Amino acid sequence: MGSLPDAVAPFKFLIVGCSYSGLSSALNLLDLCNGQSPRMSHEPYKHHPQFKRIPIEITIVDERDGFLHLIGCPMAFVSSDYASKTWVRFQDIPALQRPNVRFVQGSVDKVDTAAKAATVLAHATKEPLELSYDFMIVGSGLRRVFPVVPQSLLRKQFLLEAEEHIHAVTNAPDGVIVVGGGAVGIEMAAELKVIRPDINVTLVHSRDQLLSSEGLPDECKTRALELLRETGVEVLLGHRVAETVKLPSPSPSTSTPCSSTPSTRARYEVRFTNGHKVLTSEVIMAISRPKPSTGFLPAAALDEEGYARIRPNLFLEPADGLHNVDRHIVAGDAARWSGIKRCGGAMHMGHFAAYNCHQRMLEILTAGGQGEVPGEGRHEAKFQELSFFPNVIGLAVGKKAVACGPDGTISGEDVMQAYFRDDLGFQICWNYMQLGKTAAEEDMPPTIEASA
């Protein structure tokens, strides 16, 4: 038969976090359970002849009310038009509008792996919600501070947050200082300078090289510095901030070097440990120090930094105190895996998460695991396994980009077009995940009413 009989209860999936890995997991899983090849696969998927379609219910829990293109935050905080594009509410993503997908805006408080149950704190009601599941996919990512990422949880609040920041950094007669020479600091400084070339932008970094915390070759770091200076950003290396002091506001009659009109804009003096001082109108702290958003998982599932311990097939590593590890997957930035955290790796892991969950479901069904549909011989699960992720990076620096991988470093406007286009990769990610593809364009699975 081509699909499961109506008597079979749908598998319940709880997906925690709906950014790159969570979205990828959900969409590839929907493809597979609808008898299709996963949208991110490079080859056709060989479906089980008896269980080509498998009914599922997906509940997605996310603190935000939509998908935020995190890569685009440096541009979103300097361009109002772009900010409105980079956050899309879940209800406005065509690919997710399905009867067997529902959203809960909230945060997971705790997980009981033995009972396969999670306690969710819904933002709307402020009341705990108990959710049971057959499989959990964790794509909760990392927590980062403002302005590396916005702190708003609603799109309309985000637009106000972005507008306030844009006003602050563009109304800066004494210039803007960006602190932190990592990827975010570089991109924020460059985007601001490109969009507002009249503003003095200075990037300061405590080390002698940009991207100092990344395991990248010197050639890549040097090229990033060259491109940043090409945009007109002043770069101060070896400058560690000691303190930032707010100065008395200037007299309304005082004109600033950047403007012929009087200004009462606040002014700051940034003081460095080497004795150097710089006057500025705005200081942007682009030092992220991200932490995994995994506090709801049992401690036995986490390493000393809070990253989830996973096997190459993305299922949790077995450990004392953990149960049903073959029903719990972690994908994306929250997982302990090699390489620099990036959206491409997260989407890749989401694809594998969906694939491996599907294989596990077939194994359960053909073994009569649900006690409802005896199989004609047990399916032997064949999992996709992650390989070692080398340190690779694609970095937008103004109108050019630098990319580095095992084959070396490349840079230029052509690299910018290949990696980011003109919107910091928003359309590339949207198209790759096929977020604009409606359910009406597919052969939909049987309708399943989601539980309240």
User: Per residue in 337-388, pLDDT tens?
Assistant: 999 999 999 999 999 999 999 999 999 999 854 434 444 578 999 999 999 9
Rounded Cα distance, 310 and 412, in Å = 37
Q: Work out the pLDDT band at 147, boundaries 50, 70, 90.
A: confident
Rounded Cα distance, 80 and 66, in Å = 18
Rounded Cα distance, 298 and 317, in Å = 12
Q: For 170-285, which CATH class?
A: alpha beta
pLDDT reported for residue 126? 84
| Number of C-beta neighbours around residue 438 at 10 A | 12
Rounded Cα distance, 68 and 22, in Å = 12
DSSP labels for 58-82? EEEEESSSEEE-GGGHHHHTT-HHH
Residue 42 has pLDDT above 80, yes or no: yes
CA neighbor of 36 nearest in space, from 444, 446, 448: 444
- 3-state helix vs strand vs coil in the chain, percent to 5: 30, 25, 45
pLDDT in tens, 43-91: 999 999 989 999 999 999 999 999 999 999 999 999 999 999 999 999 9
More confident residue, 447 or 109: 109
User: CATH topology of 11-144+290-389+422-441 equal to that of 170-285?
Assistant: yes
Rounded Cα distance, 365 and 4, in Å = 10
- Range from 65-74, 183-192, 252-261 carrying the lowest mean pLDDT: 252-261
Q: Residue 346 burial (CB < 10 Å; 0-12/13-18/19+)?
A: buried
> Quick one: what percent of the chain has pLDDT higher than 90?
85
Rounded Cα distance, 431 and 293, in Å = 27
pLDDT reported for residue 334? 98
Grouping H, G, I as helix, E, B as strand and the rest as coil, residue 117 is: strand
- Range from 1-5, 152-156, 246-250, 423-427 carrying the lowest mean pLDDT: 1-5
pLDDT reported for residue 260? 42
Main-chain dihedrals φ then ψ at residue 83, nearest 5 degrees: -60, -40
Q: For 11-144+290-389+422-441, which CATH class?
A: alpha beta
pLDDT (average), residues 115-125: 94
Q: Residue 398 burial (CB < 10 Å; 0-12/13-18/19+)?
A: buried
Rounded Cα distance, 69 and 432, in Å = 13
pLDDT (average), residues 232-248: 96
Average pLDDT, the chain: 91
Q: Residue 42 burial (CB < 10 Å; 0-12/13-18/19+)?
A: exposed
Residue 318 tokens read as 């077995």
Q: Work out the pLDDT band at 166, boundaries 50, 70, 90.
A: very high
Residue 396 has pLDDT above 60, yes or no: yes
Rounded Cα distance, 288 and 267, in Å = 24
pLDDT reported for residue 378? 84
Per-residue CA distances from 25 to 60, 351, 357 (Å): 11, 6, 10
Q: Work out the pLDDT band at 265, boundaries 50, 70, 90.
A: confident
pLDDT reported for residue 442? 57
Q: Work out the pLDDT band at 448, boundaries 50, 70, 90.
A: very low
Q: Domain residues of the chain, as ranges?
A: 11-144+290-389+422-441, 170-285
CA neighbor of 162 nearest in space, from 93, 74, 281: 74
Residue 111, amino acid: V
pLDDT reported for residue 263? 58
Residue 90 tokens read as 């879940």
pLDDT reported for residue 264? 72
Residue 5 has pLDDT above 50, yes or no: no
Answer for the pair 174, 281: CB distance below 8 angstroms, yes or no.
Answer: yes
SS3 sequence, 247-261? ECCCCCCCEECCEEE
> Quick one: what percent of the chain has pLDDT higher than 70?
90
pLDDT reported for residue 367? 84
Main-chain dihedrals φ then ψ at residue 275, nearest 5 degrees: 95, -15
Residue 444 has pLDDT above 60, yes or no: no
Answer for the pair 138, 353: CB distance below 8 angstroms, yes or no.
Answer: no
Per-residue CA distances from 396 to 227, 243, 412, 430 (Å): 9, 29, 10, 18
Answer for the pair 95, 27: CB distance below 8 angstroms, yes or no.
Answer: yes
| Number of C-beta neighbours around residue 126 at 10 A | 8
